[in-house]
Amino acid sequence: MKKHLLIILSLFGSVGAMAQSCTIDPQFATQSPGLYPQGPLGPSCELLAAKTIVSLTDTLIDTGILGVVTAYIDQLKVDSVYGLPAGLQLHTNIETAPPPYNWGTYLNTGTVPNQTSATGCAYISGMQSAWDAAIDGGTGPNGVYPLVFVIDARIHSTTNPTANAVIGTPAWVSSISPNFGGGRFYILDTLVVASDYLALDATISGTSNVDPATQYNYSVTAVPGATYSWTVTNGTVMSGAGTASVMVQFNGSGSVEVAVTDNSCSGNDVMAVTANPTGIDEAAGINVSIYPNPSNGIFTLQLEGTDALNIRIMDVSGKVVRAERLAGANLYTIDMTAAEAGVYVMEIETAQGRTFKRLVRN
């Protein structure tokens, strides 16, 4: 589709800037000229802010007294970029040195007027320390940086022989007089460095109510190239260790936790799991009740008899936060007011067996 060059290049700026380290995403190869995917630039787990480029092949320019003509573009290049945070640099998949073609030139293929857009990629990169420092800088909201890309395009020829002669094609638009539609073009874009740019979504999906000795699936959204570390309290990972989906069998109430890492990114989640009382308490031969539950930290533990018992209270990571031996009564006060709000698992063991109870500290 033919449009005024300035309008199209301004549109490039409205949808982002450049691609990845540098891999051209083939799904965008047949798209109209622009930068993909759409949206502002932001750092990835590889500490890159990248996009795929689809070059312009033709446009309309207003040559003034010679009227509006179709200009065929055979090359496109980035001349400079302004506004990058300190320590970050722009790179492309074809960059060269020395100037004037620091980042290389994208060459369309085919023969005028039937050309095929060049596809490429470019990216902003830097050390993690530079990205971290950029979180608190920027214009306006922290981490927001307006960018200006200076773009040049080479006109191979136009549909007007007289315009060709006047312009002196082939010619870079930067060398053409503004009276004939020339001049460099400025792409306005935005780089956003969010405070949680290295955080991965690791939300666990699965049931929080289980039957002991039964297997259950727990999963997180799969991230290509990421590693997964699962930890289970009072249970066993039966299959899927190291993947985004595991099968777990619990012995009683406990928890399942995952840590996801992808280069510089990481994320974790913990799900407390409550064992259904259909068997574990009864099989253990222990009649126990805890109330109120949830509570503000003061729980009452009531037993059927006065036999001695051992209790252990664990947080959802499996860390023991309290352990003691009780004897001589059937009613005990368990003070958890010093503990942080959250979910805990109490292990109760007597001569008759062992059971688990879920505590919720408000």
Nearest Cα residue to 189 out of 4, 25, 48, 49: 49
What band does 97 get if pLDDT is binned at 50, 70 and 90? low
Instruction: Specify the pLDDT at position 259.
Output: 96
301 pLDDT more than 50: yes
Nearest Cα residue to 128 out of 190, 85, 95: 85
2 pLDDT more than 80: no
Q: Higher-confidence residue: 217 or 37? A: 217
CA–CA gap between residue 129 and residue 115 (Å, rounded)? 43
Return mean pLDDT, the chain: 85
Mapping DSSP onto H, E and C, the string for 99-140 reads: CCCCCCEEECEEECCEEECCEEEEEEECCHHHHHHHCCCECC
Do 280-361 and 209-275 have the same topology in CATH? yes
Instruction: Specify the pLDDT at position 101.
Output: 65
Which tens digit of pLDDT belongs to each residue from 311-324? Answer: 999 887 678 899 99
The number of residues in the chain equals: 362
Strand partners, 254: 273
Q: Higher-confidence residue: 205 or 51? A: 205
Which tens digit of pLDDT belongs to each residue from 49-91? Answer: 998 889 989 989 998 889 999 999 999 988 889 999 999 999 9
Range 209-275 has CATH code 2.60.40: yes
CA–CA gap between residue 51 and residue 249 (Å, rounded)? 44
267 pLDDT more than 80: yes
Mean pLDDT score, 126-133: 95
41 pLDDT more than 80: yes
Instruction: Specify the pLDDT at position 336.
Output: 93
Nearest Cα residue to 361 out of 343, 346, 347: 343
Is the CA virtual torsion 202, 208, 213, 215 positive or negative? negative
Strand partners, 231: 257
144 pLDDT more than 80: yes
Nearest Cα residue to 249 out of 279, 275, 287, 228: 275
Please answer whether residues 70 and 121 qualify as being in contact, where contact means their C-beta atoms are separated by less than 8 angstroms. no
CATH class, domain 280-361, is mainly beta
Nearest Cα residue to 163 out of 73, 58, 70, 75: 70
Mean pLDDT score, 178-192: 87
Instruction: Specify the pLDDT at position 30.
Output: 87
Which tens digit of pLDDT belongs to each residue from 246-255? Answer: 999 888 888 9
What band does 211 get if pLDDT is binned at 50, 70 and 90? confident
Where are the chain's structural domains?
A: 5-192, 209-275, 280-361
Instruction: Specify the pLDDT at position 183.
Output: 86
Please answer whether residues 95 and 104 qualify as being in contact, where contact means their C-beta atoms are separated by less than 8 angstroms. yes
DSSP structural state of residue 5 = H
Instruction: Specify the pLDDT at position 98.
Output: 58
